[in-house]
Structure 1
Amino acid sequence: MIRSYSRSGFLKLAGAGLAGLSLAACNSNDAASTPQASSDGLEKLTFVLDYTPNTNHTGIYVAQEKGFYANKGIDLEIVQPPEDGADALVGTGKAQLGMSYQDVMANYLGSDNPFPVTAVAAIVQHNTSGLISREGDGIDRPKGLEGKRYGTWDQDVEKAIVRSVVESDGGDWSKVELVPANSTDEVTGLKADQFDAIWCYEAWAGQNAKIQDYPVDYVAFIDIDDTFDYYTPVIIANDSFLAEQPDTVKRFLAATQKGYEYAVQNPDDAAEILVAANPEIDPALAKASQEYLSDKYVADAPQWGYIDKGRWEKFYQWMNDQQLTPVPIEASGGFTNEYLPEA
């Protein structure tokens, strides 16, 4: 069985939570600021995933299985997100840590009542998302979307990015038909002719197509415009937790870094650890995806987790220029490298 990990599915989940969280709820940070001790004396922390378990999360499962968290005095509970999403759970203090995306964070950083949440580490150094389509349908470049059906989950930033890459390639956005992205599996949706192209992550949907021997074309957003080389996904932390427990955050990130570094060096074994913890994941897909990501976690960064200020700001400045949020985003806000281990 292939467990779904789709961009559309995640954003449908996140959108519901981002729309419903109030400022009053954000101020409820008791759980975040005062982690509990477990029965064995370890500090108990809760980490909420962004969506169903997948290879973006491998380093966390590795760090848990290999005892890296325990060695740092941490008992980590990994939970899947509720209907209102990971950002909401971290923002309200029901979890100290979680996973999100820079573009999703913009929804609340650019609001009158921003969540008390900060990105503290990048999982993958460069944006690995783009457009996937059936091979030979003529969508091997963004302009090829003219006259075709794009499967959308109707998010403003999503449509603005796709429109931008189409127009950058000389295409006419008005000639692109927008249809609902009803499938949570991109390859299944393409096979069923629900749409002609959809946003996906190459690490999952691209590898899914390969192991199914289903020929596709793929266009990476960063190959069209490096403005879209933003951080996706990232680890987020509750701001009260950061302020009150900085040493705990540093210990958590040191163990997490070790987990991802293990996945870089041992992709097959790391994939097996992920599948052992989540047996519903297709082992072949996990291994293919893990092999793809093994050189993407760190890539050209000085260390795992590092967030480049210029790239972070460039994307948020683009969002401000497009007026995609009710309130302009502080372009350099919402992230820090302060808690990462020294390189």
Structure 2
Amino acid sequence: MKVIVIATAMFLAGAASVQAADKVTFQMDWLPGGDKAAIFVCLERGFCEDAGLDVSLETGRGSSESLTKLATGSSDIGNADIGALMAARVTENLPVTAVMSYYNQGPHAFFTLRGNGIEKFADVKGKHLVTSPFTSSNVYLPLVLNDNGLTMDDITLTKTDPGALNPMLVTGRTDAVISWITDVTRYTRQVEDAGREMIVLPWADAGLVMYSGTIVASDKFLAERPDVARRFVAALLESVKYMRENPQDAAQAVNDAVPELDHPTAMGSLQDAIGLIFNEVTERDGLGAFEPERLKATWDRVAAAQGLDADALDPESVVNRNFMPEN
């Protein structure tokens, strides 16, 4: 009888523990991939569970959709471009706040091939470039061109379906494409299969200083469940560190959750994304930090790119550092 009582008590305690897990809906700004490995590590390697969290994922189709779902309460916390958040605060007073930096550099870049006559940023003058219609890179292109003594009149720009970008580059139908650093491995494999060599020119190296991908949360979630938000951010930070130290297993965590996304593909985009998370900015300011001057520089860029009044927003108003773990 004692064994039965003890077993029953243990079962009830276990059930209570499961029930005690706080449910959180994480909103991705795009489809699953190696660049999103941290959240899959949190789920598949126990960091979220250890924090007492029961996390479900929602996929998205861009920062605007992600922010809308957070603002309407469909999701609690997720990722989106901080530039999109800043603009939405000005135009819509969106009730969403950034709680942790993820990419502390912009992911935008020119991809070209050796022999196309583009070895440095300024070499795009007089060249034909292709971009996708909805990428945020298009917003910042005039600014980074201006930083390098060029204007939109100095290039020929064509917009096409994202899936056509690399085929157009490989087949010589364009001199360069505009894409994200997180696509380097995928593009490079296709280029090498064609017997060519790819050159990547990050805009971060050409003067575009700004934050980009960010962990953002519904203001309602932050106000009503601040302890849950803090535990989630802490768990995600540990997952990011694990991802850096164990990239092969982090890619496997993505594959475990999304079997149709093979390990090499996940590993490639994970490695591409690592440099946007861990770099000289991280070494100087810390992982996940929002440094005031860089935050202001980001807003200055966003305002200029979107024709917004620079005085319409205090960039500090879109971030809340209180949900980061204390050092």
Question: Smaller-chain TM-score range?
Answer: 0.7 to 0.9
The Cα offsets for residues 46-82 of structure 1, whole Å up to 9 and x where unpaired, read as 0111101122311111011122111111100011126
Q: Does 1:73 align with 2:63?
A: no
Q: Is 2:112–2:199's contact at 8 Å kept on the other side of the alignment?
A: yes
Matches within 5 A, 1:82-231: 85-111=65-91, 113-153=92-132, 158-184=137-163, 186-193=165-172, 195-202=174-181, 204-212=182-190, 213=192, 214-225=196-207, 228-231=208-211
Q: Does 1:331 align with 2:315?
A: yes
Q: Which moved more, 1:145-154 or 1:245-254?
A: 145-154
Q: CA deviation at 1:303?
A: 3.8
Q: Is 1:142–1:165's contact at 8 Å kept on the other side of the alignment?
A: no
Number of residue pairs matched by the alignment: 303
Q: Is 1:48–1:79's contact at 8 Å kept on the other side of the alignment?
A: yes
Cα distance in 2 between the residues matched to 1:291 and 1:221: 18
Q: CA deviation at 1:175?
A: 2.6
The Cα offsets for residues 90-123 of structure 1, whole Å up to 9 and x where unpaired, read as 0111100111012222331221x22101111122
Aligned match of 1:261: 241
Cα distance in 1 between the residues matched to 2:163 and 2:135: 19
Residue type of the alignment partner of 1:309: P
Aligned match of 2:298: 315
Residues 178, 337 of structure 1: alpha-carbon distance in 2 compared, 3 angstrom cutoff:
same
Q: Is 1:100–1:236's contact at 8 Å kept on the other side of the alignment?
A: yes
TM-score by structure 2 length? 0.83
Counterpart of 2:26 (choices 24, 47, 50) is: 47
Residue type of the alignment partner of 1:102: I
Residues 192, 77 of structure 1: alpha-carbon distance in 2 compared, 3 angstrom cutoff:
farther
Residues 333, 274 of structure 1: alpha-carbon distance in 2 compared, 3 angstrom cutoff:
same
Moved over 6 A (4+): none
Matches within 5 A, 1:283-294: 283-294=263-274
Cα distance in 1 between the residues matched to 2:109 and 2:268: 18
Aligned match of 2:252: 272
Residue type of the alignment partner of 2:189: I
Residues 194, 99 of structure 1: alpha-carbon distance in 2 compared, 3 angstrom cutoff:
farther
Q: Which moved more, 1:280-289 or 1:149-158?
A: 149-158
The Cα offsets for residues 26-50 of structure 1, whole Å up to 9 and x where unpaired, read as xxxxxxxxxxx99733111101111
Residue type of the alignment partner of 1:238: S
Cα distance in 2 between the residues matched to 1:148 and 1:89: 39
| Secondary structure of the structure 1 residue equivalent to 2:253 | helix
Q: CA deviation at 1:281?
A: 2.4
Q: Is 1:129–1:221's contact at 8 Å kept on the other side of the alignment?
A: yes
Cα distance in 1 between the residues matched to 2:313 and 2:168: 34
Q: Which moved more, 1:206-215 or 1:319-328?
A: 319-328
TM-score by structure 1 length? 0.79
**Between Structure 1 and Structure 2, which shows a larger proportion of helix residues?**
2
Q: CA deviation at 1:218?
A: 1.4
Cα distance in 2 between the residues matched to 1:44 and 1:189: 44
| Secondary structure of the structure 2 residue equivalent to 1:332 | helix
Cα distance in 2 between the residues matched to 1:156 and 1:294: 21
Q: CA deviation at 1:324?
A: 2.1
Q: CA deviation at 1:162?
A: 1.7
Identity %: 22
Cα distance in 2 between the residues matched to 1:185 and 1:279: 25
Q: CA deviation at 1:138?
A: 2.1
Residue type of the alignment partner of 1:318: R
Residues 270, 90 of structure 1: alpha-carbon distance in 2 compared, 3 angstrom cutoff:
same
Aligned match of 1:58: 37
| Secondary structure of the structure 1 residue equivalent to 2:19 | coil
| Secondary structure of the structure 2 residue equivalent to 1:110 | helix
| Secondary structure of the structure 1 residue equivalent to 2:288 | coil
| Secondary structure of the structure 2 residue equivalent to 1:47 | strand
Q: Is 1:120–1:237's contact at 8 Å kept on the other side of the alignment?
A: yes
Q: CA deviation at 1:326?
A: 7.2
Cα distance in 2 between the residues matched to 1:38 and 1:98: 25
Between structure 1 and structure 2, the one with the greater Rg is 2
| Secondary structure of the structure 2 residue equivalent to 1:120 | strand
Cα distance in 1 between the residues matched to 2:186 and 2:95: 36
Root mean square deviation of aligned Cα: 2.7
Which runs of 5 or more residues in structure 1 are unaligned? 1-36
Cα distance in 2 between the residues matched to 1:271 and 1:318: 33
Residue type of the alignment partner of 2:107: T
